[in-house]
Amino acid sequence: MGEDGVNFPGGRHGRSSTETGKRVLRAAVTPVDDSLADRFASEENWRRGYPRHFEALTVLEAGSAETAMTVARAGLAEAAQSFVHVTGEQEHPLGHAVSVREPRLSTVEVVGGGIRRPVLEVPYRGELLTGHRLLRQLDDWVGRGITEPSFREAVGSVVRHPEWLDLSDRTFALVGAGSAMGPLSDLLAWGAHVAAIDLPRPRVWERIVRTARASAGRLSVPVRGGGAPSGDALVEHAGADLLTEAGAVVDWLTGLPGPLTVGNYGYADGALFVRLTMAFDTVLTELAARRDDLSLAYLATPSDVFLVPLAAVQESQRRHRALRPSPLAARAVHRASGGRVLRPNFTSEAVLETAAGRYGLVNAMITDQGQNYALAKRLQRWRLMLARADGMLTSVHVAPPTRTASVHSNPVMEQRQRLTARLGIETFDADTSRALAAAVLVHDLRNPASAANPAVPLAHPHESFMAAANPGGRWRVPLEPGSALPVLEWLSRIPGMHR
């Protein structure tokens, strides 16, 4: 990707994602905690130290619902003011992005010829789970601490209400429609109208169009220029770049039938992920000013800092007391390492007393994922909180660790997923995670008692991220995974211990 489009602001040292990120976080916390803003500013090794600062940010937001909303508003306001729209040698305010209406996007519709899938189907370890078998698997995941009980209730309700899966009455605009974690194939299988937004890459669009033709749904494809290309010509002209064509995308989405659910499933490495997040946020803000029938969907990463239910903390502590070999051996190793190795997942300090109640705090950040990943995900979380507060239905699902190409292109991440399985963290195949996330989205749209519904009262905005969460077991394991990795790595080198 080039410089054009939504981008970080220029400065003496170029377009610094570090400086911009720190500026956004400082502005977010300044209205409620000047000292924390100073700590952000004085951090000299942000690239390695950012996880503890995001933890401090989460603790601050935990204090009260009002504090969390103040932080979210201030952070997003600073981001909107800091980021820019670049065209050639010119740098404009971010709002300029939606004023550029070229290229004009027209629509080609692909109508599927398949039969609507009448029930929820979840592929898992070589099987296709439906009905009672899927309900039993949900019980198993909860029993092992892999998913939260509210996840079982959400997905289980979709199993028990197959009529919810008739999505012929809805339109879904999917940004990053071709992504491994996006719900494109499931929504089309359930008869939905999907407006797909992805980069103009013929290979991606070949797969998207092929999926639509075999489904019971209807696909709207954005194409450049006039006419209605078909076949090979369609995939050659399909697509839109959110970074440089935000205005054209807003115009295109404005004309779609509703009700309209807008889902962000796009991903990119490094600083580009933050740029895409801000481009989406700009599109959403403008679209919300034009339409009153929007709902919003995101996937949350399991590797973030979260408030978690107190029951998760208690289960983790119970499992820590029951560790074999004995806790005495673990404590000896822990002390010998100066407290760095084999830390419990939750200490007494990890239970927060807040105005909304008692919550656990888990810092599941993985430093190797990078500061930009953390910033992008925090911007998304803030937008969800504000959208819900403004009356928009907001579906957010904490998805599990997943075997995707982007994760396994990083050998450190691949190794981490393999080793943490020994702690009780389950990594899901992409098709399993995708089907389960699609089911949660259906639940949130169909069940008026869902936490996604802004009419349902929450004690704290962060409870949205606890609802229907599937963190893969990370919230309930006995040991903090990063502190156990050295031991797990050592054990993996002993013949026979990898089994």
Q: Containing H/E element for 494? A: none
Sorted by sequence, the CB contacts under 8 Å of residue 484 that are 6+ apart come out as: 341, 342, 420, 423
Q: 42: number of CA atoms within 13 Å, CB side?
A: 6
Tens-level pLDDT at each residue, the chain (499 residues):
579 999 999 988 789 999 999 999 999 999 999 999 999 999 999 999 999 999 999 999 999 999 999 999 999 999 999 999 999 989 999 999 999 988 899 999 999 999 999 999 999 999 999 999 999 999 999 999 999 999 999 999 999 999 999 999 999 999 999 999 999 999 999 999 999 999 999 999 999 999 999 999 999 999 987 667 877 789 999 999 999 999 999 999 999 998 999 999 999 999 999 999 999 999 999 999 999 999 999 999 999 999 999 999 999 999 998 886 655 555 555 566 555 678 899 988 899 999 999 999 999 999 989 999 999 999 999 999 999 999 999 999 999 999 877 666 677 777 777 788 888 999 999 999 999 999 999 999 999 999 999 999 999 999 999 999 999 999 999 999 988 888 777 666 666 544 4
Report cis status (omega within 30 of 0) of the bond before 259: yes
Residues 254-258: contacts with CB under 8 Å, at least 24 apart: 254/287, 254/290, 254/291, 255/107, 256/171, 256/173, 256/195, 256/220, 257/171, 257/193, 258/171, 258/291, 258/293, 258/294
Which residues share a beta bridge with 93? Answer: 84
Closest by Cα among 213, 204, 167 to 187: 167
Name residue 394's amino acid: T
For the chain, domains (ranges, CATH) are: 1-100 (no CATH), 105-307+359-492 (3.40.50.720)
Sign (positive or negative) of CA dihedral 473, 476, 478, 482? positive
| pTM exceeding the 0.85 threshold for the entire prediction | yes
DSSP string over 163-186 = GGG--TT-EEEEETTTSTT--HHH
Closest by Cα among 227, 261, 269, 266 to 246: 266
Sign (positive or negative) of CA dihedral 291, 295, 299, 304? positive
Q: How many residues does the chain have?
A: 499
Name residue 74's amino acid: A
Question: Chain centroid to CA 129: how far?
Answer: 24
Sorted by sequence, the CB contacts under 8 Å of residue 129 that are 6+ apart come out as: 121, 122, 123, 137
Which residues share a beta bridge with 40? Answer: none
Q: What confidence score (pLDDT) does residue 499 get?
A: 44
Question: Tokens 């309209």 belong to which residue?
Answer: 260
Q: How far apart are CA 395 and CA 392, in angstroms?
A: 10
Q: What confidence score (pLDDT) does residue 326 get?
A: 56
Residue pair 404/181 in contact (Cβ under 8 Å)? The answer is: yes
Q: Residue 431: is it exposed, middle or buried by C-beta count within 10 angstroms (0-12/13-18/19+)?
A: middle
Sorted by sequence, the CB contacts under 8 Å of residue 366 that are 6+ apart come out as: 303, 413, 416, 482
